[in-house]
Amino acid sequence: MSILRRVVILNDGRKAFLEYLRNLTSISLLLAFALFSALKLDFTRVDASNAHFTILTGALFISWVIAFTANLTLFYEACYFGKPSWIEAKVATIQGQRMPLVKGVVYFMQCAIKEKWVEIIEIMFTFLLAQIALVVVAYQAVKIASDM
């Protein structure tokens, strides 16, 4: 099997990858609104007049974290966790040989590195891509919030 056929985001994962990227726009706007409301907060004093902006800012930041996490996990689930047959086979081998936990983990990692090295590199690449997207979204949101 060629290496490019094993890369999920170039084959079965294309739709999930594009949905992930499309959802980043609304997530960046959510963060921009959170940062904009945070700019209205006055941290020099604590009184009830700041309560509505504090609650709004907190709710927006929590919503942003949930949205970003949900978007990323949906992407990973669609691309990588829908194919458990290889994993199930290795777990069955570990259980069948009654390996201790540490030995079973080492065996599984050795098999993964030997047999699924392309997938491991791809998962690391997509994780790095997600972190870069997070930084870009945060930068864009700060820029939007500062321009408001």
Across the 148 residues of the chain, what is the mean pLDDT of every consecutive 10-residue run?
75 85 86 84 76 86 92 82 70 84 85 80 84 84 78
pLDDT of residue 82: 60
pLDDT of residue 35: 85
Q: Give residue limits of the domains in the chain.
A: 3-147
pLDDT of residue 61: 92
For residue 125, which of 2, 5, 9, 19 has the smallest C-alpha distance?
A: 9
pLDDT of residue 41: 80
Q: Which tokens sit at 143? A: 């820029």
pLDDT of residue 62: 95
Whether the CB-CB separation of 18 and 74 falls below 8 Å is answered with no
pLDDT of residue 84: 64
Q: How far is CA 70 from CA 20, 34, 51, 63, 137, in A?
A: 10, 18, 28, 10, 15
pLDDT of residue 63: 95
pLDDT of residue 60: 93
Q: pTM higher than 0.75 for the full model?
A: no
Q: Which residues contact 147 (CB under 8 A, 6 or more apart)?
A: none
> Which bin fits 55, alpha (ψ -120 to 50), beta or left (φ > 0)?
alpha
